Structure 1
């Protein structure tokens, strides 16, 4: 019978491998989407994503529906880390926590420094996010030379980043509230927590309750993806890991999320029409804030906050890592892509600003990923 450590190691390896392959697939989907959006098939291709279903476009259902499943997986991964993973004790959780904190505050500060008081100041959340799939996908290109602690640190950091992004979405990107629907959603969440305390381990009532919670959250004014995270923390994580409802659902969701939901999101949201003067938008404060936040703010914030925390004795640097490796992690943290685009769609209403933001995000993520890969290739011994 597998030990708990071996079981968790297998689950982490599965997560890493699915995200690694998913990251490569995301790159391919992005390139394909950009080519089709700027080809003779442009009209037909864009028509697919604008097709109306139930009064909403196909893209809207992807962003508000399928992405809730993605956030459910993020929540389950965070729950596992908190209970038995890297975040299960304060000493282990401190380094990724402080690294993530620096990777949130510094990029947001740089963006606001350039955009405060303007129409684009609401985009401060864009450079705060890290795309787990892309970051791990790039890290996987280095093969066996990557220490296990480096993989775990990047994963934990990115998960904390995404949780913070979810909180930011809930607080800053909720424009109006329908309190009846919100209370109904929270009421269902409360019932699911009671089922958890009663040790109900059958997944069916949680999944049915999760769908209902998503529906009410969708109509409440709070972004519907929040329901995915709430559901994750209502699902029990107890007993034998392989029989735990949280473990079972996390295991089942890895491949659908990595190979269907995120690629579909990439296809739908990178169908950008590149105009002849597309580069003109790169010099405005919004684009500069995104680029500076992701490419400069992320690595600086992650490195600086980690260094201060270790120097003060609040946490320790893993034995097989050096500070030059933390710089590489910081650069990979600047790959915002999926999460940054997601926040840009919530932050802005004008199509022109959204398009400019997407282009800035794609360029920034490409630069950050290239720099991070090159840096780690040099600093990590074979």
Structure 2
């Protein structure tokens, strides 16, 4: 008996679903969703229902496993737990770029590395000019971050005005920025080192290296090792979310066999199946064999990135923005923006980022260290440098580490991050939208 075809999808359902599908196909969709969550959080925290916002994210939770009991709030679950998966994705993206992407050779990596150094050093220095010697000095790393989702989303809105070379340049810059942020978090935002737990963490890293060496593809093994590393780092005094980065760097990045070899074997195998009589009893095993052969072509790194990207971009990061962007403006005035902490962040993100990225890149190009990315005009490089001042996700994360238990300073820092990022996004967009068009690149 022929199997019945699935029932048709109702036309009304297709019409309702079409805008949602179009949104998720849009390159800037994750950045738009992130911005929307930040706006919702701000409105919610300053509405008549503000108490429900605080009540939700400060709600106490508890987890008990084999006699071990942990107490935390919903916000801490997001910031210290779910954000580990964000950093896991960051670690895998870094490894992919270093092994097979835009950072795989020194010649490709040198210019975005130089630009990233400028984009970290100058903002941190400007922040300290405003805050050195004050209780807010510990937040010096906040304006160092560039948010990949927001910045690339902003460039997507002016895609016809920006060369592909500049998009790649900003992406690579943001990746180096992430590496710098990870190092800073590990070195300066721990809670005091405990050697015995760090030795346990070292054992987990060795186990991950062994799994990488022997090309282990079972995701559950990495889940167990990652959870154990998180727990060890949490007790060892290093911020536990960085366990995600370490785990991501040990996911195998190369395929077991060459694609042509596998496809040749599969072609012969499928040809034999076509010649054989139909046998539904073994059809499932045959399909499974084909799937296993195809898995040899796709590296585990690519598979895990595809698996987690949607959850992180459209779930975890927006939840983080929703939980951390709700700043109560009650009792605040415009004069509060002139306080050293928010002013230092705003100046660091909007001025420091663009000056550091543009100046360091321009000098490197003039010294012929590397050519101008995408043969871009100087004005376009400046516009991209301004967009690089959108520091949102990692900047908010660093702020929560810099001011634990200091609600007033944390609120001021969040306000500075939101305004500095907004200013960079708007001005960067306008500079690229109404600036000179890209140079015509001659066909080769």
Q: TM-score, normalised by structure 2?
A: 0.79
* TM-superposition CA deviations, 1:212-244 (whole Å, max 9, x none): 111222222211111011001111111269610
User: Do residues 106 (structure 1) and 114 (structure 2) align?
Assistant: no
Which segment drifts farther, 350-359 or 106-115?
106-115
Aligned with 1:53: secondary structure?
Answer: strand
Displacement of 1:111: 0.9
Alignment of 1:243-282 (within 5 A): 243-282=298-337
Alignment of 1:217-366 (within 5 A): 217-239=233-255, 243-349=298-404, 350-366=406-422
Displacement of 1:327: 0.8
Paired with 1:17 and 1:228, the residues of 2 have a C-alpha distance of 27
User: CA 1:159 to 1:89, structure 2 compared with 1: closer, same or farther past 3 Å?
Assistant: same
Aligned with 1:219: secondary structure?
Answer: helix
Paired with 1:328 and 1:145, the residues of 2 have a C-alpha distance of 11
Paired with 1:258 and 1:39, the residues of 2 have a C-alpha distance of 27
Q: TM-score, normalised by structure 1?
A: 0.92
Aligned with 1:243: secondary structure?
Answer: coil
Query: Mind listing any 5+ residue stretches in structure 2 that lack a counterpart?
Result: 1-23, 63-70, 260-296, 439-444
Displacement of 1:280: 3.2
Task: Answer whether contact 2:212 2:252 (CA < 8 A) is retained.
Answer: yes
User: Do residues 37 (structure 1) and 93 (structure 2) align?
Assistant: no
Paired with 1:198 and 1:254, the residues of 2 have a C-alpha distance of 25
Displacement of 1:345: 0.8
User: CA 1:19 to 1:354, structure 2 compared with 1: closer, same or farther past 3 Å?
Assistant: farther
Find the counterpart in structure 1 of residue 33 from structure 2. 25
Task: Answer whether contact 1:295 1:368 (CA < 8 A) is retained.
Answer: yes
Paired with 1:262 and 1:18, the residues of 2 have a C-alpha distance of 17
Query: Mind listing any 5+ residue stretches in structure 1 that lack a counterpart?
Result: 1-15
* TM-superposition CA deviations, 1:230-282 (whole Å, max 9, x none): 00111111126961011100111111111000110010001211113243321
Paired with 2:107 and 2:96, the residues of 1 have a C-alpha distance of 17
* TM-superposition CA deviations, 1:272-298 (whole Å, max 9, x none): 111132433211211121111100010
Tell me how many residue pairs correspond in the alignment: 367
Paired with 1:47 and 1:364, the residues of 2 have a C-alpha distance of 28
User: CA 1:380 to 1:196, structure 2 compared with 1: closer, same or farther past 3 Å?
Assistant: farther
| Residue from 166, 169, 179 that aligns with 1:153 | 169
Paired with 1:301 and 1:174, the residues of 2 have a C-alpha distance of 27
Aligned with 1:313: secondary structure?
Answer: coil
Aligned with 1:275: secondary structure?
Answer: coil
Aligned with 2:254: secondary structure?
Answer: coil
Find the counterpart in structure 2 of residue 46 from structure 1. 54
Task: Answer whether contact 1:302 1:326 (CA < 8 A) is retained.
Answer: no
Find the counterpart in structure 1 of residue 431 from structure 2. 375
Paired with 1:319 and 1:260, the residues of 2 have a C-alpha distance of 33
| Residue from 87, 93, 116 that aligns with 2:109 | 93
User: Do residues 192 (structure 1) and 247 (structure 2) align?
Assistant: no
When Rg is computed on C-alpha atoms for both structures, the one with the higher figure is: 2
Over the aligned positions, Cα root-mean-square deviation in angstroms equals 1.7
Paired with 1:53 and 1:278, the residues of 2 have a C-alpha distance of 35
Task: Answer whether contact 2:89 2:308 (CA < 8 A) is retained.
Answer: yes
Paired with 1:378 and 1:31, the residues of 2 have a C-alpha distance of 26
Paired with 2:81 and 2:371, the residues of 1 have a C-alpha distance of 40
Displacement of 1:180: 2.1
Task: Answer whether contact 2:169 2:373 (CA < 8 A) is retained.
Answer: no
Aligned with 1:120: secondary structure?
Answer: helix
Q: If each structure's helix is expressed as a fraction of its own residues, which one has the higher value?
A: 1
Paired with 2:171 and 2:88, the residues of 1 have a C-alpha distance of 16
